């Protein structure tokens, strides 16, 4: 269903539309009690109880296909349109929660149109249509992992 987010009743197998949008992916963060919704294009943050939009993150120009969090309030957003974002939750002010969005695409040293962030322990890996890369979260740069010629695998 690509016209919104649905709530499904597992007992009756019925569903109802709870948020109208064009979603690609979503992630529930129990630490911050929020739902992050990857759209085509954009990112929204929802209240999981009321399904109201808490924030419509400005600056995301790409369709977001993958959202992963580090459990500390930082989220990595992968896309299919030459974009890779870091989204952090900042302080709560009278106006609401402050969010910081950084597009890290310029720092990546490979050409790709698909970025799928995945955590492997504390390491952030980026799967692309050109291979697998390690992303250094401190330096904000990626290094392509080279195939092992002896084993024919990574």
- Whole-number mean pLDDT of the chain? 82
Look at residue 96 in the predicted model and tell me its pLDDT.
66
Of 96, 87, 33, which is closest to residue 64 (Cα–Cα)? 87
Domain map (residue ranges) of the chain: 22-144
Residue with the larger pLDDT of the pair 93 and 140:
140
Share of residues in the chain with pLDDT > 90 (%)? 21
CA dihedral 81, 132, 140, 115 (to 10 degrees): 20
**112 three-class SS:** coil
**43 three-class SS:** strand
Stretch 102-118: mean pLDDT: 75
Contact criterion met (CB below 8 Å) for 71 and 81: no
Question: What is the C-alpha separation between 37 and 42, in angstroms, rounded?
Answer: 8
Residue 82: pLDDT above 80?
A: no
Look at residue 148 in the predicted model and tell me its pLDDT.
52
Residue 114: pLDDT above 80?
A: no
Beta carbons within 10 angstroms of residue 154's beta carbon: 10
- Kindly report the CATH number that applies to the domain delimited by 22-144: 2.130.10.10
């Amino acid at each position: 269903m690509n016209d919104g987010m649905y709530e499904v009743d597992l007992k009756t197998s019925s569903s109802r539309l709870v948020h109208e949008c064009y979603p690609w992916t979503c992630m529930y963060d129990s630490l911050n009690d929020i739902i992050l919704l990857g759209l085509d294009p954009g990112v929204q943050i929802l209240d999981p109880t009321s399904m109201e939009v808490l924030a419509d993150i400005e600056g995301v120009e790409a369709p977001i296909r993958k959202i992963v969090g580090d459990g500390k309030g930082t989220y990595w957003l992968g896309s299919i349109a030459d974009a890779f974002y870091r989204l952090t939750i900042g302080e709560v002010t009278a106006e609401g929660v402050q969010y910081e969005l950084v597009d890290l695409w310029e720092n990546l040293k490979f050409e790709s149109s698909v970025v799928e962030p995945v955590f492997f322990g504390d390491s952030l890996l980026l799967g692309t249509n050109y291979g697998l890369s390690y992303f250094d979260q401190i330096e904000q740069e990626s290094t392509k992992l080279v195939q092992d010629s002896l084993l024919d695998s990574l």
